[in-house]
Amino acid sequence: MILLNGFLENPVWGLPIVIYPFLSGLVAGSFVVASLSHLFGMEKFRPLAKLAAIVSFAMLILAAQAPLADALQPSRAVWELYFRDHFPYSPLGMFIIIWTLYIILMLFEMFYLFRVSNIKRAAEDSGFRGKLADFFTLGNKDLSEKAAKKDHKALMIIAALGIGLAFLFHGYVGFLFGAIKARPLWSNPLIPVLFITSAIVSGIALMGVLYVIGFSFYSDKNKVKSETVYALNKILLLVIGFDLFFDLIEWLYSVRSYAPKDLYEGWHSVFSTGGGGVLAFNYHFMQITLGLIIPGLLLISKKVRNSKVWTVIVGFLVLIGVWSMRFNTVVGAQLQAKIGQGTVLFDIPWLGYDGYITGIGLFALGIFLIFVFGYLLGWEDKPELTGNN
């Protein structure tokens, strides 16, 4: 029988902090997808470049809102994060620098990626979108072949820098958890690697879902290409294999011979099925089975990899699995009691800064940002308007 110590201890980090690494993972994963055509010349991913860039930029802005939702005084964020003398003493101070550099990099990518589209829209549209597109060109309206080559070269450099920054961005989120020695289930050098691999998995899965739905129902100029769907699912299958491998290594912490006493006991009290772990179902079924094993088995089939419907289904399964991984990491480590026996009680309220309504609002804001950026920048434009040709 598990003794609940909810009156003695309570998790400090709740739902907004779960959402934070989930969103930042989508940033890194979708940026990698956006860079495949620029840096590696994979033409099959060219139709995804604009959409992936918009999603990455929207999630990057939104990711910063999640910890602010958890803060007691979010109005002081700019002062606390940028003007207080906490760098390099605070790990979060380093993260703010990485996030700011990522914002700057994404602004450069959006400029070069949409430059030609903005020039043509400014010439064709005299309304609000046309005026905004004219502003986004920053006066650079050169449509020559030489200018197009410069745009492509700039995007290659940005993609190279961005992939490294994406790994650093989300790997550092894992480092923030792994560096906390007071929580045995966080004090794990493998967490940054797990965060990076799961981020790429989630980003690819999200792009598969948005690509199929977006180009099937919201685009009159483009249609879903089977070769793009197949290539995307093929890479997703490969990354799922890596993610499962690292999850297997993490599972070895449940074996007494491979883990210190406090880590072994914490893992069993929270995640073990035999020991009545409070998150056993969430870990073994939602994260591993539903989120990785089932999608991996499905993607082995060539028919599934070619299917638009199965791409959406597999994508949602993977996203559920990655969400469960974030929840298990953030909340699970806090359920191991520091005093007494058993596990800590954790209830998510409907209202309040750490409640379900806040979480729903954050995701709704993310969808809103994607639609706004998509409308203003024209993600559905024809391939010849990408600025890379």
Banded model confidence at residue 340, pLDDT cuts 50, 70, 90: low
The alpha carbon dihedral of 313, 315, 318, 324 has a sign of negative
The alpha carbon dihedral of 135, 138, 143, 145 has a sign of negative
CATH number of 15-385: 1.20.1630.10
Find out whether 111 and 103 touch, Cβ atoms under 8 Å.
no
Q: What is the pLDDT of residues 254-282, one digit of tens each?
A: 777 777 888 888 888 888 877 678 899 99
Q: Is the pLDDT of residue 382 over 70?
A: no
| Single-letter amino acid code for the residue at 218 | Y
Distance CA 347, CA 291 (A): 24
Maximum average pLDDT range among 146-150, 168-172, 256-260, 347-351: 146-150
Q: Model's pTM, two decimal places? A: 0.88
| Single-letter amino acid code for the residue at 187 | S
Lowest mean pLDDT among 71-75, 243-247, 263-267: 71-75
Average pLDDT over residues 336-357: 79
Contacts of 176 (CB under 8 A, 6+ apart): 91, 92, 95
Q: What is the pLDDT of residues 7-64, one digit of tens each?
A: 567 778 888 889 989 998 899 888 888 888 877 778 788 888 888 899 999 999 988 8
φ/ψ of 336, rounded to 5, equals -75, 115
Banded model confidence at residue 386, pLDDT cuts 50, 70, 90: very low
Q: What is the pLDDT of residues 177-193, one digit of tens each?
A: 877 777 888 888 788 88
Q: Is the pLDDT of residue 387 over 70?
A: no
Contacts of 74 (CB under 8 A, 6+ apart): 68
Contacts of 8 (CB under 8 A, 6+ apart): 337, 339, 340, 344
**Which token pair is 81?**
């994060």
Q: Is the pLDDT of residue 87 over 70?
A: no
Q: Is the pLDDT of residue 5 over 50?
A: no
Q: What is the pLDDT of residues 103-137, one digit of tens each?
A: 999 999 999 999 988 898 888 888 888 899 889 88
- Mean pLDDT, the chain, rounded, equals 84
Q: Is the pLDDT of residue 91 over 80?
A: no
Average pLDDT over residues 131-147: 88
Distance CA 287, CA 296 (A): 13
pLDDT at 341: 67
Task: Using the structure block, give the residue that is written with the tokens 């750490």.
Answer: 354
Distance CA 150, CA 152 (A): 5
| Single-letter amino acid code for the residue at 49 | A
Q: Taking the CB of residue 335, how many other CB atoms lie within 10 A of it?
A: 25
SS3 per-residue string spanning 82-144: HHCCCCCCCHHHHHHHHHHHHHHHHHHHHHHHHHHHHHHHHHHCCCHHHHHHHHHCCCCCCCC
Q: Is the pLDDT of residue 231 over 50?
A: yes
Q: Is the pLDDT of residue 355 over 90?
A: no
**Which of left, alpha, beta for 272 (phi over 0: left; psi -120 to 50: alpha)?**
beta
Q: What is the pLDDT of residues 293-316, one digit of tens each?
A: 999 999 999 999 999 999 999 999
pLDDT at 197: 92
Distance CA 64, CA 62 (A): 5
Distance CA 35, CA 164 (A): 11
Distance CA 296, CA 238 (A): 9
